[in-house]
Structures are given as structure tokens and as C-alpha cells.
Amino acid sequence: MNAPILWIGLPFAVGLFILFFMRNRFAAWLGGTIAAILALIALIFPIDTALLVASVSIKISPAIQFFGRSFELNTADGPLLAMIYGLAAFWFFGTEASKTESRFVALGLMIVALLTASIAVEPFLYAALLLEVAAMLVVPLLVPHYQKAGRGVVRFIIYQTLAMPFILFSGWMLAGVEASPGDLGTTIQAGTMLGLGFAFLFAVFPLYNWIPMLMEEAPPYATGFLLWVLPTFTAIFAFGFLDRYAWLRSTPSIADAILFAGVFMVASGGIFAALQRHLGRILGFAAIAETGLLLLVMSLRTSEFTTIAFLTLIPRGLELTVWALALSIIKRKAYTLRFSEVQGLARKYPVAVAAILLAHLSMTGFPLLAGFPSRLALWQGLAVESLTISFWVFVGLLGLLVAAVRTLAVFVMTSSETKWEWNETWTQTIMLVIGMLGLFLLGVFPQAMQPFIASLPTLFEHLGQ
């Protein structure tokens, strides 16, 4: 058995099969089951280690050659694969509840497989090309076949494409920096090119204008999946750069640039979220703010920043899943998701409304919810760095909290004579309740993430030293 075939080739092939041969209902169960099984295998069976099961010896070999390129997944990648495919399984199982087309599962499996390949490929700069191919596959998820692509989709694919030449060219220059580290001019040029590339990939301020546009134009469930999957793998790709090139980690100006980019994203995302009157745009700005928090974690000068980063990434996937699923249910009643159309829906869709509010509060770092442990760890790191930075991060998170309070006020704004109803289906209710329980459990018992958090930093040999 070969690891790249198992976690890259198999899900990609299953995605192709679902795309051409399966219907909606069965697609969700097949895609979710395959992703869940792959997560369990990654969790139970270590890569490149022989295990004796009954009388059968099982060993998952780590590498394969494909068109002259090497794809390798090592033992340290197991917890990461379990995290990625476990969260992907929840997204795919939710497809039936969100009434999303079957191609979401098909293309979703293919996207996750390509992004997993971006982790495994050597030379690692080819990951940039795989990220671009995955971004292209996202477009059919965002644009129904009967609809013309909107401005948000066009800007998204333009920005993702512009990132590629910057990253590839900077990779070529980084090789020269390693050969002659004293060449200050080449170092500055390489750092600038790399920063521009990741600015496009992370949608750093002011390059995130496509996200709120997309939340208005595209289905919220597909857009939520995009806001989860691409930043997650982009962060891992960025960690790979920091791990390979020591001068990137040790240059204060680069850490400061990442720090200020994160502050701008958190502060502006929170403030803009507090001013919105559209549920989808609020989710978009909340996701922007959380990406800013991830950049802040990357800028911390502490040996524990990789641990804090993954402590942020795991709840982020669950928060976005629950929030996007609940929004897709609400959108079937209020198509535009504007405040004027969702007034009083707390009495008609109580489970969906509760899920939106819990996911929103979790992103603000509300105590006893999944986002709280990572925010607490981040506050401790920022307190050492700068009180001014901490203040602006507080302003951003306060803006998200104000947006949550405004959303709650709109949902409950109705006559006292309005009867309580339950319009969610059993499937929708079960998925949302599981997600909300997950948000509570990860907040009350954050040690449940310890098996992942303890192992994930070993992916990077030099970070945190």
C-alpha cells in the first residue's frame, strides 16, 4: 500500500466517479464515508511502519514517483491527514443537509486530494501550481451551470493566479540567497516577491474584497468550503517556506510585515463585520478576521507558534462548516440573506439560528466555545509583543461580537404572537446539533485536540527552535 496513492490518488478517483456516475443523495454518503475512512487510517496506521494485524503484515510506503516528481507522505503527516480528511468528511456529510449539488462532493474530494499533493510534492515549489489547479476546480463549485460568473469569482481566480508567478519566481531567487546569503539586494527582492505572492493567496488587506462579494453571489456552503480549505493549505505551504529558509525566520522585518498584515485583517474584518446588514458578508468578514489571527500567530517570536497555529486551524474548520450549513438552510427561506428578510426567523428555524450564533461567537473567542483556547494562547503571545497590537486585535474581535449581537437582534425581532416552528429536516437538525456539540466540546475540553496538536509541529523540523 502506498501513502500518496491512498490519500491523493484514491480520493481524486472517487471524486471523478461521483462527478460522472452518482446522484446527490448517495454522493454525500459515499464522499463523506471515504473521507472519514481515510482520516481513521491516517490516525491508526503510521506511515512507513510495519504493523501486524492478525497474521497479516501491513505497511504503508511513503513515496511514489509521478512524471519525474516525487510525492512523499511521512509518519509526521499522519495527524495532519487525519485532521484534513476528518473535517472534509463533515463538509461532505453536510452536503445532503444543505441541498448542495452532488458535484460539490466530487469536486471537493478532488480539491482536497490536489491540496494534499501540494504537501507531498518534491520539489516543494510545485505546490504553488497544485494550489492554482485546486483554485480552478473551486470555480465550478461557486458558479452554477446556468449562471454567469460574478465579480467576486472573477477577482478570486485573478488574485490566485497572480500569486503563482510571484511565488515561483521568489523560489528561484531563494536558491540564490542560500548560495550567497550576504547579498542583501537579492534577499530583499526575494522576500518582497514571496510576500506579494502570499498576500494574494491569503487575501491580505486590501486584497480580500472578493470574499464579501463572493458571499453575496455564490452558494454559502461552497464559499464556506473555499474559505476553509485554501487558507488551511496555504498556511501549511507558508510554514514550509519558513521551515526551509532560516533567514526568513530570523529576519525581523519579515516577522513585522506578517504581524501588521494580520493586525489590519483582524481589525478591518471585525469593524466591517459590525457594519454589515447581510448575513453572508458577515461570515466573509469573520473569515477574513480569523485569517488575520492566523497571520498574527505566524508572526509570534515564540517556540510554540506552530502549536498555536494548529490550535487555530482545527476549530476554524468546524466553525465554518456549521456556519455555512446553517446559512444555506436560512437562504432557502430568505434568498438574499439581508437583515430585512431574516427578521424573526429564530422562531421558524431555531436550530439553524442557534448554529449561526454559536459559530459566530466561537470565532470571536467566546469562553467555553472552540475558538477560545487559541485566542487565549494568542493573547498571551501578543501581550509580550505589543500592547498596541493587542488593542487593535481586541477592537477587531469586539467588532465580530457586535456583529453577533446585531444578528441575534434581527433573528428575534418579531411579534410575540408568532408561533414557534421547526422547519429544519431531521438530517439538517442532526448535522447542526453534532456541529454545535463539537464547538462546545472543543471549548470545554481542548485537551481532546492534544493528540493532533502534539504531533503536528513535527511536520516542520526547524520551526520553533
> How many domains, the chain?
2
Look at residues 96, 122, 148 and tell me which one is the last residue of a structural domain: 122
Q: Is residue 291 part of a domain?
A: yes
Contact 253, 187 (CB under 8 A): no
Q: Is residue 465 part of a domain?
A: no
Same domain, 31 and 144: no
Structure confidence at residue 453 (pLDDT):
77
Q: Is residue 464 part of a domain?
A: no
Same domain, 41 and 95: yes
Q: Is the dihedral of CA 26, 29, 31, 33 positive or negative?
A: negative
> Could you give the CA distance from residue 313 to residue 427 in angstroms, rounded to a whole number?
26
Q: Which residues pair with 66 in a beta bridge?
A: 69
Same domain, 389 and 442: yes
Q: Is residue 89 part of a domain?
A: yes
Structure confidence at residue 28 (pLDDT):
84
> Could you give the CA distance from residue 294 to residue 300 in angstroms, rounded to a whole number?
10
Q: Is residue 101 part of a domain?
A: yes
Contact 325, 427 (CB under 8 A): no
Same domain, 206 and 107: no
**Cell matching residue 103:** 458535484
Q: What secondary structure letter does DSSP report for 91?
A: H
The one-letter code for the residue type at 463 is: L
* CA 167 vs CA 126, 128, 157, 309: distances in Å: 10, 7, 16, 22
Same domain, 238 and 364: yes
Same domain, 250 and 182: yes
> Could you give the CA distance from residue 269 to residue 354 in angstroms, rounded to a whole number?
22
> Could you give the CA distance from residue 57 to residue 35 in angstroms, rounded to a whole number?
24
Same domain, 97 and 127: no
Radius of gyration over alpha carbons of the chain, in Å?
22
> Could you give the CA distance from residue 97 to residue 329 in angstroms, rounded to a whole number?
8
Cite the DSSP H helix spans in 143-219: 151-179, 184-202, 210-217
Same domain, 144 and 99: no
Look at residues 97, 122, 147 and tell me which one is the last residue of a structural domain: 122
Residues of the chain below pLDDT 70: 1, 23-25, 48, 50-57, 175-186, 246, 303, 462-465
Backbone φ, ψ for residue 88 (5° rounding): -60, -35
Q: Strand 69-72: give its sheet, edge to edge.
A: 63-66, 69-72, 121-122
Q: 254 lies in which domain range?
A: 123-459
Same domain, 80 and 132: no
Same domain, 101 and 238: no
Same domain, 166 and 275: yes
Same domain, 240 and 93: no
Structure confidence at residue 439 (pLDDT):
92
Structure confidence at residue 54 (pLDDT):
60
Structure confidence at residue 181 (pLDDT):
54
Within 13 Å of residue 435, how many CA atoms lie on the same side as its CB? 35
Look at residues 101, 122, 143 and tell me which one is the last residue of a structural domain: 122
Structure confidence at residue 463 (pLDDT):
66
